[in-house]
Chain A
Amino acid sequence: MTATSAVIGLAWREARAARRRLALLVGAIAVGTAALVAINAFTANLRRSVAGEARALLGADLSFASRARFTPRVDSLADSLACGGSTGCGNRATVTSFAAMAYVPARAGVRLVRVTAVQGGWPFYGQITTTPAGAWSTLQGARVALVDPALLTALGAAPGDTLALGRLRLPIAGTVDRVPGDIGIAAAFGPRVVIPGALLEETGLLQFGARAEYEIFLRLGPEQDPDAIAKQHRPALRPERVRIRTVQDEQQSLGNALERLGRFLGLVALVALLLGGLGVASAVHVFIRQRMETIAVLRCIGATTRQVFSVYLIQAAGIGLVGSVVGAALGLAVFVALEAMVA
């Protein structure tokens, strides 16, 4: 047996009899570490899922938005971008939305709604849930409308009823239940009515001076960098009052909020750990003070300063290590429980 292993053995045996007090120290460290681990894991996971969902929030890689009809120049730019990728054309969708009055003749009900005319395969990413299922994909070729469930409730209408939008008459084919990135409260200002983009002109509602939001959504090839494209074209498009948005932009604005939340929670956990650390420090201080006689005896029977210091350093390091490992495990458990609760 070497002197080193003797010191380790002594540290272990000397700690053994004071197990209950040591368990308290381990517990204090574990709780602080657990809080930190749980919060960090939770915010990291939140950030990761935001990154994963960001494309679905936009539904595309890149979007152009304008308050007026796009000029031919913007139109052809979008076309060239949509066809520039290796995936061919057909990666372009147009969404026009505006406020209008919807009328259901059978119920004699009128409501202010938000009309969304979709042309093309938007959304390219993410799923829109409808009732009946799959109604979204057949919308393009059909002469039907999909509406917000809130509209049916408000007007007492049912699928199959005819809906009038300006001069256009369409049967309600079903409801749009979930759109990624959509905020529930928006429906309160005007329930959504989705119609195929090809029928937009038939409504006769978009006259001179009509307030509408025009958007072009693009899906890009893997070799096209949406942010580089956005950066390149932004200056030229600014005079035309066309805004370019990318997944990164969406992610950033959402990410900033999460970042702040994460930092705040992290700070709380750190303060908790710091306070816990103070507690641990004073507890260790008392622990060592109680060991003074033992230390004196050890010195008396031939222990060097280094050996005595090592014995208690090993004990303190052991407490720290066990506390951290237990805390990390505890933190992960809390994180998993928290996730199960949120999901």
Chain B
Amino acid sequence: MLRCAGLTQSYPSGNQALTVLQDISFEVTAGEFVAVIGPSGSGKTTLLGLLAGLDRPQAGRVWLDGAELTTLGEDARARLRGAKVGFVFQSFHLIPTLTARENVQVPLELRGEPGGIRAEELLARVGLADRTHHYPAQLSGGEQQRVALARAFSTSPKVLFADEPTGNLDQRTGARIIELMTELNREAGTTLILVTHDPELASRARRILRLADGRLVADTAA
């Protein structure tokens, strides 16, 4: 489903290159729930960006659902994301000028599909049936993240990437979001890659990848 081999990424920092990831290789099968953990600066978010095709690695390759991301151009990767990938971010990243319903609709519309009914259904599923015409600024953090979840699932993605999805939420709200996310994940059979530094959250996953200083130091089944 998702495979990477020899992923290496570094950024120029002053006169020397700062290596963020070094020689990361692993494979995730369809429907798996994998948590990527590690301290701040260990390269978790960078890894996520490479796996989702947001960025290109300096070395190494990534395959997503049979397609090799590392050989595709910007727009081909964007289309692939639109078709197969969902995202949930720490700071929600809803489009502020669109209503909740429109935010959920956008990924479908970009593919040329009507998204209205599906958006309503998904917002009802995450418990926001009466908030469809609200703008992000009119919603609480938990509500915004639920809209983001609905948006991520609107295209029935094969893989969902979640980057610290509870990082900006209080504990109770965060727990509800995780519950909702795992539920949706089970229902849709989505592969879930969750980046977090919260050990409790990671313990819900069935497999944990531990990063330290840009290296994969442990790959354990929970």
Contact = CB atoms under 8 A, between A and B. Distances in A.
Interface of A: 1-3, 6, 9-10, 13-18, 293-294, 296-307
Interface in B72-115: 74-75, 78-79, 81-83, 85, 87, 93-98, 102, 106-107, 109-114
B111 A3 contact: yes
A297 B95 contact: yes
Contact of B96 (A2, A3, A17, A301): A17
Contact of B97 (A6, A13, A300, A307): A13
B102 to A, nearest CB: 6
B5 interface: no
B151 interface: yes
Contact of B109 (A10, A15, A297): A10
A6 B112 contact: yes
* Most chain A CB neighbours (cut-off 10 Å) among B75, B83, B97: B97
Contacts of B111: 3, 302
A1 B113 contact: yes
Contact of B87 (A9, A301, A303): A301
Interchain residue pairs A-B with the least CB separation, the first 8: A302-B82, A17-B97, A6-B109, A3-B112, A304-B75, A1-B114, A301-B107, A302-B81
Contacts of A303: 78, 82, 110
Nearest to B94: A297
8 contacts: A10-B106, A17-B98, A298-B106, A300-B52, A301-B82, A301-B107, A302-B79, A304-B79
B78 to A, nearest CB: 5
A302 B97 contact: no
B83 to A, nearest CB: 7
Contacts of B110: 3, 6, 298, 301-303, 307
Contacts of A301: 81-82, 87, 106-107, 110, 151
Contacts of A296: 93
A16 B97 contact: yes
A278 to B, nearest CB: 26
Contacts of B85: 302
A122 B113 CA distance: 79
B98 A13 contact: yes
Contacts of A6: 109-110, 112
A300 B106 contact: no
Contacts of B82: 301-303
A14 B95 contact: yes
B47 to A, nearest CB: 16
Nearest to A9: B109
Interface of B: 52, 54, 74-75, 78-79, 81-83, 85, 87, 93-98, 102, 106-107, 109-114, 135, 151, 155
Contacts of B112: 1-3, 6
Contacts of A297: 93-95
B93 A293 contact: yes
A3 to B, nearest CB: 4
Given A14-B95, A17-B97, 11 more contacts: A1-B113, A13-B98, A15-B97, A17-B96, A17-B98, A298-B106, A300-B81, A302-B82, A302-B85, A305-B78, A306-B75
A1 B111 CA distance: 10
Contact of A298 (B54, B74, B95): B95
Nearest to B152: A301
B135 to A, nearest CB: 7
Contacts of A294: 95-97
Nearest to B80: A302
A297 B110 CA distance: 12
B60 to A, nearest CB: 21
A14 B109 contact: no
A305 B74 contact: yes
A263 B63 CA distance: 65
A153 B211 CA distance: 108
B92 to A, nearest CB: 10
Contacts of B54: 300
Nearest to A294: B95
A181 B98 CA distance: 66
A18 B87 CA distance: 26
A307 to B, nearest CB: 6
Contacts of B75: 304-306
Contacts of A3: 109-112
A15 B96 CA distance: 11
Contacts of B106: 10, 298, 301
A124 to B, nearest CB: 69
Contacts of B93: 293, 296-297, 300
A303 B95 CA distance: 13
A293 B93 CA distance: 8
Residue among B74, B87, B94, B96 facing the most chain A CB atoms (10 A cut-off): B96
A17 to B, nearest CB: 4
Most chain B CB within 10 A, of A293, A298, A301, is at: A301
Nearest to A293: B93
